[in-house]
Amino acid sequence: MKYNKIGIFDSGMGGLTVLKEMLKRINGLDMVYFGDTARLPYGTKSPDVIKQYTLECSRFLVEQGIDMLVLACNTASAHAISMVRNELNIPVMGVIEAGVKAAVSTGASRIGVIGTTATIKSNTYANAIRAIRPEVDVVSKACPLFVPLVEEGMFDDEVTELVAKRYLEGLISYGIDTLLLGCTHYPLLRGVIGKVMGNGISIVDSAATTAAAVARMVHGEYECKESPDVVYYFTDLTQSYLKLGELVLGRHMDNVIKVDLDGR
Ligand code: DGL
């Protein structure tokens, strides 16, 4: 049996969309979630800082005894996955590969990718899509206001819709047939994004596709526990974070711990 505990990392609450999908698909395996809420957002930061923060958080999760790490953050996956894989002796899964595979398998010919500024600047999605299907037309758009809107819980709000219209109008007029949500916060805006995009455009969510890939990887490779632990660590913790976390997960969060990465 290879796996006892999976670590899931995000800069904040967005990775809970991946954890939620994992909990639907994987029964009886301990999980540890880590959200670097004190230093969010990562998407506006430089590649060096994203790498440094991601590595620190990944090492913390390894100290908690995980034997697989899911980088449930596109920004961290885009910039830091190779370095984290080199540094850690456990399997590390990112969110980009699964999302790209799902998007290209729809038979799409014109894919729109949305993500944080850092993810879009890295060109990771566009390169990964073109590596599999060079004939696909890829157009990318950074949507920096989406993360703060999600962290404020404004999933279905007229301000969010206005912002979505502003960000997405160029992709609509370009005639994309598939929209890839390249940020784990964005599945929470799926309603508004779907409304703005209209019918006929498939929306691919990298949270669900990554969870499905992790479930395939661990299948039959762990001892199924009757009451597995789910522990949540955050570098900052407020009542509103907790409320948001429970809203995203759709379940009560027991075992929530605030961690000080420098002082531990
Ligand atoms: N959830 C992160 C992602 O998937 C972005 C949040 C942030 O900017 O920190 O890229």
Pocket test for ligand 1, best of 73, 113, 124, 145 (most atoms within 8 A of CB): 73
**Centroid of ligand 1 to alpha carbon of 41 (angstroms):** 6
Closest CA to 181 of 228, 141, 151: 141
Residue spans of the domains in the chain: they are 5-94+209-258, 96-206
Q: 5-94+209-258 maps to which CATH number?
A: 3.40.50.1860
What pLDDT is stored for residue 256 in this prediction? 97
Residues with CB under 6 A from ligand 1: 10-12, 14, 40-43, 73-75, 116, 119, 147, 183-185
What pLDDT is stored for residue 263 in this prediction? 73
Known catalytic residue at 73: yes
What pLDDT is stored for residue 231 in this prediction? 98
User: b/e map of 187-208 (b: 16 or more CB within 10 Å)?
Assistant: bbbeebbeebbeeebbbbbbbb
What pLDDT is stored for residue 262 in this prediction? 83
CATH architecture of the region 96-206: 3-Layer(aba) Sandwich (3.40)
What pLDDT is stored for residue 264 in this prediction? 66
Token pair for 210: 């990554």
The residues with which 93 forms a beta bridge, in sequence order, are 70
Q: How far is CA 153 from the centre of its chain?
A: 17
pTM of the model: 0.95
Known catalytic residue at 224: no
**Centroid of ligand 1 to alpha carbon of 225 (angstroms):** 31
What pLDDT is stored for residue 106 in this prediction? 81
Contact 41, 11 (CB under 8 A): yes
Low-confidence residues in the chain, pLDDT < 70: 264
Rg from Cα positions in the chain: 18
Contact 42, 118 (CB under 8 A): yes
Contact 91, 217 (CB under 8 A): yes
What pLDDT is stored for residue 211 in this prediction? 96
**Centroid of ligand 1 to alpha carbon of 227 (angstroms):** 30
